[in-house]
Structure 1
Amino acid sequence: MSIFSMDESGYTGHDLLQKSQPWQGASAVNISHDDAAYLIRQHFPKLKAPELKFSSLKRRDGNQKPLYALQQDLLANFPCVTCIADKRFILILMFIEYAVEPFYYELGENLYEDGGNFSMASMAYYVGQGYFGRDFDAILQAFQNAMHQKTNTAVNALIDCVQAVNWQLLPEVLGPLALKHPDCIDAVINSETSTDAAFMILQSLISRTELMCDGPYSIEHDRSDNLLRYSEFLSMLIECKTPARFKLSEIANIEFPLKLEEVIQVDSKFSPSVQLCDVLVGGAISGARQLVQDKSLSFYSPLKLYRDEQFIHFLPDIDFEGQKKFRHGGQGSDFIDFIAEQFHKSVK
C-alpha cells in the first residue's frame, strides 16, 4: 500500500488570532523512508541533530541553499502537496459561514455559489479594518470567543461589538448579526461548530492525495498533540462510506469513499519522510510570510518551485472575477452538508 507522510505547522486550535503564529499549513509527501533518508544525507551530509527541523535549519544563512535544493528535489521527483492559510482570513471565512450565510440561505441565496463566500471574506479582510479600525479585530475576537464558549453571554458580547460600529458601512457582512438573525446566532452557538481550521486544511490536502494515488493508501504523521486533531478528522473522512463526488474548484474534486484507508502515528525522529514534510510546510509558510512582507519572492523562496497542482492556499484575493471563474460550479455548500451528515452518523 502506498504511504503519504504528513506534517503540520502553525496549529493553534480554535485561536486563529494568535499574533506569534499568523499562518497555518500542512504538507503531504509520497516518498519511502529510504529515499527520504538519502535526500537528507545528500543535502545535509553534516547534520548532527536527531532529526531535520525547518525551524532550526532556517536560522543559519548557510542553510538557505541546501534547503532550497532539497525542496526542489522533492517537488520535482515525488508526489507532494502543501496547503497554507492566513489564519485571519480563515477566521473571516468562518465568520461568513456561521454568522452571515444562514441569513442568505433563508432568503434562498446560495452564498457558496461560484465562491461568493471567498469573495465576501476577501472584501471584508481588506475593507473591515479600513472602515472600523481596531474595532473590526474586536469583532473577530468576539466571534472567536463566542464560537468557543457557546454561551449566550459570549454571543451577546459579539452582537454588542457589531452594533457598536457603523455596521451599515458593511451591511452584507455585519448586518445579519447586527439585526440578531436567529439562524446566525444558532450557527454560532451550535456545539458542533468551531473555528478550528485543521479540517479545512486537511480536506484540501486529501483532495490532492486522492488524485495522486491510483489505489488504496495510508497516511503517517507524527505523534504530536497538534496532529491528534488532524488524525481525528482523517479517521472521520475514512469512515465516510456513502458514495458521493463534489467539485470544489476548477482544479479540486473529492470523491467518497476515499482511497485513504489507514492513519498511522509515528515518531518523527524515526521517520525521515515526516521530517521532509516539516521542511516543505515550514518553507512554504516562511516564503509566504516573506512575500507578504516584501511584496516579492526572495532568491531562495521555495514558492518558486511549486506547480499549481502542488500548492493550495487560503489567502484573500480581490480578483473577484478570477475567483468566480476558478470556483465556478463548485459544490461547497453540498460538500459542507454532506460532511455534517457524516459527522452526525459517526457520533451516534
Structure 2
Amino acid sequence: MKCYRIDESGYTGFDLLNPDQRFQGASAIAIENEEAVRLIRDHFPRLQAGELKCRSLSRRPGNQERLLGLLRDIHAHFGCVTYVCDKRYLLTLMFVDYAVEPFYDKRGLDLYVDGRTYAMASLLYTVGPTFFGREGFDELLTAFQLAVKKKSPLFRISLVSAARNVDWRQLEEVLGPVVEACPDCWEAIVTPGVNTDAAWVVLQSLISRMEAMAEGPYRVEHDQSKNLTTYNALIKKFVNHSEEIEFQTTEIASLKFPLKLREVMQVDSKVSPAVQLADVMIGAAIEGANGMVGLRAGGLDPDEISKIYADGQFIHMSPMIDFEENRRFRKGSRSSEMIDYFAKHFS
C-alpha cells in the first residue's frame, strides 16, 4: 500500500494572529525511506546532523542551492503536494462565516453561493486595515477569536465593542451584523465544536489532494510532534467515516467519503528520512511565503522556490480580489453543506 509521509509547520492552535507565524501549512510526499535516504545522500553527502531540517540547513548560504536541488528532485520524480494558508486571511474568513453569514442566512440570502464568503473575506482583509486602521482591525479580529474560544457573554460584549469602535459604516454590509449584536451570529459562534484552529482546514485541503493523486488505498505517516497530535486525531476521524458523500469545493478540488486513506501512524522523524523530506518541503514553502511578504530576509530565494512546483503540487488559501475570477473558480461549490456536515461529524 502506498504511503504518504506528511509534516506541518506554523501551527499556533486557536491564535491565528501570531506575528511570528503568519503562515500555516503541511506537505505530503509518497516515497519510501530507502529512496529518501538516497535523495538526502545525493544532495547532502557530508551531512553530519542526525535529522534533516529545512530551517537549520537554509540558514547557511552554502546549503541553499543544495536544498533547492533536493526540492527540484522531489517535485520532478515523486507524488507530492504542499498546502499553505495565510492564517490572518483564514481568520477573516471565519469571521465572515460565523459573525456575519448567519445574519444574511436568516434573511434568505446564501453567502456561500459561488464563493461569496471568500469574496467578502478578501474585501475585508484587503481594505480593513485602511478603513479601520491597523490597530482597530487587529482588535476586531482578536476580539472575534477570543469570543469563539471563550464563548461567554463578556467576550460577546468585547466583540461588539471592537466593531463599534471602528468606522464600521465604511463596510456596513460586513460589520453591521456584529454592531447590531445579531443573535443568530452569536449562536453560531458559541456552537460547540466551532473554533479558530486551522488544523482541519489544512488537513482537509491536503487530504483532498492526496485522494486525487492516489490510485487506490493508501496510508499516512507523520511525526510524533505535539502539534501533529491534533492532525492525527482528525485523520483518524476521516479514516473511520464510512458514509458515502462528496463535496465539490472549487473547480479543481473535491472531497469524497469514504476515503481511499486507510491508516494513519505516528513515527519518530529522526528514524524516518521520508518524513524529513516532508519537513523540507513545508519548511521551504513557509520560508518562501515569509520572504514574499517581507517578513524574513535571507534564507531560500522565494522566486526560486515558486519555480519548483508543477500543476497540482502547490495549493494555498489567500485573498482573491478578482471577484469575477473568485465566482468562476467557486461556482457551484457546496461550502455551506460541507461546513454543516463537518461540524456534525468531525467537531
TMscore range, shorter length? over 0.9
Return the offset for 1:190: 2.0
Does residue 1:81 correspond to 2:81, yes or no?
A: yes
Q: Which amino acid aligns with 1:276?
A: L
Post-superposition offset of 1:332:
1.2
Contact 2:291-2:302 at 8 Å conserved across structures: no
Which residue type is aligned with residue 205 of structure 1? L
Match of 2:266 in 1: 265
Residue 234 of structure 2 is aligned to residue 237 of structure 1? no
Distance 1:26 1:302 in 2: 16
Alpha-carbon distance, 1:299 to partner: 7.2
Alignment match of 1:332 (pick from 312, 328, 335): 335
Match of 1:19? 19
Identity of aligned residues (%): 49
Distance 1:172 1:262 in 2: 45
Q: Does 1:279 align with 2:280?
A: yes
Whether the 8 Å contact between 1:64 and 1:300 is mirrored in structure 2 is no
CA distance in 2, matches of 1:299, 1:253: 29
Q: TM-score, normalised by structure 1?
A: 0.95
1:317 aligns with 2:320: yes
Q: Which position in structure 1 is the counterpart of 2:131? A: 131
1:105 is aligned with what amino acid?
Answer: D
Moved more, 277-286 or 304-313: 304-313
Counterpart in the other structure of 1:45? 45
Deviation sequence 1:285-329 (CA, Å, 0-9, x none)? 1112222229xx947621211123111111112111111111111
Q: Distance in 1 between matches of 2:68 and 2:303?
A: 6
Q: Is the 2:287–2:302 contact (alpha carbons within 8 Å) kept by the matching residues of 1?
A: no
The corresponding residue for 2:110 is 110
> Which residue in 2 is equivalent to 1:304?
307
| Greater mean deviation of Cα atoms: 13-22 or 298-307 | 298-307
RMSD value, Cα: 1.4
User: CA offset at residue 164 of structure 1?
Assistant: 1.7
Q: Is the 8 A contact 2:234 2:346 kept in 1?
A: no
Extract structure 1 runs of 4+ deviating beyond 3 A.
297-300
Q: Which residue of 1 aligns with 2:176?
A: 175
Q: Deviations over 1:325-346 (max 9, x none)?
A: 11111111111122222237xx
Quote how far apart the aligned CAs of 1:199 are.
0.3
Displacement after TM superposition at 1:172 (Å): 2.0
**Preserved CA contact (<8 Å) 2:145 2:196:** yes
Q: Which residue in 1 is equivalent to 2:36?
A: 36
Task: Return the offset for 1:151.
Answer: 1.1
Q: Give yes or no for contact 1:23–1:87 (8 Å, CA) kept in 2.
A: yes
Read off the aligned partner of 2:316 and give its amino acid letter: H
How many residues are matched?
342
2:160 match:
159
Tell me the distance in 2 between the aligned counterparts of 1:228 and 1:298.
31
Decide which moves more: 7-16 or 141-150: 141-150
Whole-Å Cα distance in 2 between the matches of residues 300 and 173 of structure 1? 35
Structure 1 equivalent of residue 229 of structure 2 = 228
3-state SS of 2:346 partner: helix
Match of 2:346 among 337, 343, 347: 343
Q: Which residue of 2 is the match for residue 145 of structure 1? A: 146
- Answer yes or no: is the 8 Å Cα contact 1:68–1:300 preserved in 2: no
Structure 2: where are the runs of 5+ without partners? none
Contact 2:242-2:258 within 8 A present in 1 as well: yes
Alpha-carbon separation, structure 1, partners of 2:222 and 2:266: 5
Look up the match of 1:66: 66
Decide which moves more: 274-283 or 315-324: 315-324
Whether contact under 8 Å (2:100, 2:175) holds in the other structure is: yes
- Counterpart-to-counterpart distance in 1, 2:30 and 2:263: 15
C-alpha distance in structure 1 between counterparts of 2:211 and 2:54, whole Å = 27
Measure the CA separation in 2 of the matches of 1:66 and 1:155. 51
Single out whichever of 100-109 and 127-136 deviates more from structure 2.
Answer: 100-109
Match of 2:188 in 1: 187
Offset, 1:37: 0.9
One-letter amino acid matched to 1:51? E
Which shifted more, 213-222 or 332-341? 332-341
Q: Taking structure 2 as the reference length, what is the TM-score of the superposition?
A: 0.96
Q: Once the two structures are superposed, what CA deviation does each residue of 1:145-184 show, in whole Å capped at 9, x if it has no partner?
A: 1111111111111111111222111112211111111111
Report what 1:211 is aligned to.
212
Tell me, yes or no, if the aligned pair for 1:155 and 1:189 is still in contact at 8 Å. no
SS of residue matched to 1:186: helix
Equivalent pair of 1:150/1:191 in contact (CA under 8 Å): no
- Residues 115-145 of structure 1 show CA distances to partners (whole Å, capped at 9, x for unaligned) of 1111111111111010011111100011111
User: Distance in 2 between the 1:119 and 1:67 partners?
Assistant: 37
Letter in 2 for 1:252: A
- Whole-angstrom distance in 1 between the partners of 2:311 and 2:142: 33
Where in structure 1 are there 5+ consecutive unaligned residues?
Answer: none
Q: Once structures 1 and 2 are overlaid, which stretch shifts more, 81-90 or 164-173? A: 164-173
